[in-house]
Amino acid sequence: MKLASQRAGRDGALLVVSRDLATAVSAAAIAPTLQSALDDWERASPRLQALYDDLNAGRAARAFALDLGTLAAPLPRAYQYLDGAAYPSHIQRNRQARGESVPDDFFQKPLMYQGISHGFMGWNDDVRLPSEDDGIDFEAEIAAITGDVPLGVDAKGACGYIRLFVLLNDVSLRAIIPGELKRTFGFLVGKPASSLGPIAVTPDELGELWKDGLVSGTMKCWVRGEELGSIETGTDVAFHYGDLIAHVAQTRAFEAGTLVGLGTVSNEDESVGVGCLGERRALETIRQGAARTPFLKFGDTVRIEHFDRSGNSVFGAIEQRIAPLA
């Protein structure tokens, strides 16, 4: 099924959305917000699925035409946001451009950090930041939303706790990040609030795209109207979602409503392009000795959208303008 959150208060109002993203219906009688549905998933999920089936069959009472412009992030406030670096080509290129190598245990243990988990922007919200000089960048990702994950779960079992998937723009400030990493405590100021695509999708709804702990399909990215990447998301990955969840669950349980990302999508085949400006600049540095593509400036736009094998949009698009603080 497909779910969304209409703009209302801090946490939005839960909607069930049709498969073609054309219509929607309020899920208030089942759960007022997506977080409340996740907290009571065993009871809420079958009822939401029944409403989804009715909506697609044209039987849902009080269904209405969906206006994507009214949607907030599906989960505006998450209990935890964990992001990884599971696409080796992304990390290897960026580090090679800086004259560095990946950690010795990169292919044995997932590289992860814990980011800001509140204030996720909606798909079309302006990305407002203090300065262009901070090296503003986007990162195209798909994030899992989990239910309650027990301490000590293994990688195979961990995938069973994934409730939904969402499109993610992990906003990064490239001029700040290197200095933070050198201090060895990791990202903080260099990782402001991120944004989520408008539609959250259950694993079963993905069909053949959801296999072996990965979501396949084509991630397309545009910056300033130029297509930057057309990337297969289900390949060239060192770790799947279950691996990342299990890695963190070695020492902590998860609350329902935790987001887990695999990191910026990237393929070994350079011809498919990139999922962020940092990687394009890294490739320019490796090939030509210097980066030529500028980072994002105020007024620039970014669009990210993931497509299935038939060319259908899976999660709706993220399309945002970079803007100065109001």
**What are the two backbone dihedrals, phi and then psi, of residue 14, each rounded to the nearest 5 degrees?**
-70, 130
Every domain of the chain and the residues it spans: 2-70, 80-324
DSSP string computed for 103-171: -TTTTTS--EEEE--S-PBPTT--EEES-GGGTEE--EEEEEEE--B-TT--HHHHGGGEEEEEEEE--
Q: What is the CA radius of gyration of the chain?
A: 19
Question: What is the phi-psi region of residue 205: left when phi exceeds 0, alpha when psi lies from -120 to 50, beta otherwise?
Answer: alpha
Which DSSP state fits 281?
Answer: H
For 188, the 3-state DSSP assignment is coil
- What's the CA dihedral at 235, 237, 239, 245 to 10 degrees? -70
**What is the mean pLDDT of each successive set of 10 residues along the chain, which is 326 residues long?**
98 97 98 98 98 98 97 97 97 93 93 94 98 98 98 97 98 94 88 97 98 98 97 98 98 98 98 98 97 98 98 97 95
Nearest-angstrom CA–CA distance, 102 and 96: 9
Q: What is the pTM of this model?
A: 0.97
Residue located via tokens 């960026």: 94
Q: What is the DSSP letter of 176?
A: T
Phi/psi for 53 (5° steps) reads -65, -40
Q: 238: which strand partners?
A: none
CA neighbours within 13 Å on the CB side: how many for 121?
A: 20
Give the phi and the psi of residue 13 in degrees, each rounded to 5: -120, 125
Name the strand (E) or helix (H) holding 182: helix 177-182
Q: What pLDDT shows up at residue 185? A: 87
**pLDDT of 121:** 98
Measure the CA–CA gap between 66 and 3, rounded to whole angstroms: 12
Kindly list the distances between the CA atom of residue 71 and the CA atoms of 33, 35, 63, in Å, as whole numbers in the listed order. 13, 15, 16
Q: For 219, list phi and psi in degrees, rounded to 5.
A: -95, 120
CB contact set of 226 (below 8 Å; sequence gap of 6+): none
> Do residues 229 and 293 touch, judged by C-beta distance below 8 A?
no
Whether 238 and 88 have beta carbons less than 8 Å apart is answered as: yes
Location of structure tokens 């303008």: 321
| Backbone dihedral angles phi then psi of residue 230, each to the nearest 5 degrees | -140, 85
Fold of 80-324: Fumarylacetoacetate hydrolase; domain 2 (3.90.850)
CB 76 within 8 A of CB 119: yes
Beta bridge partners of 214: 211
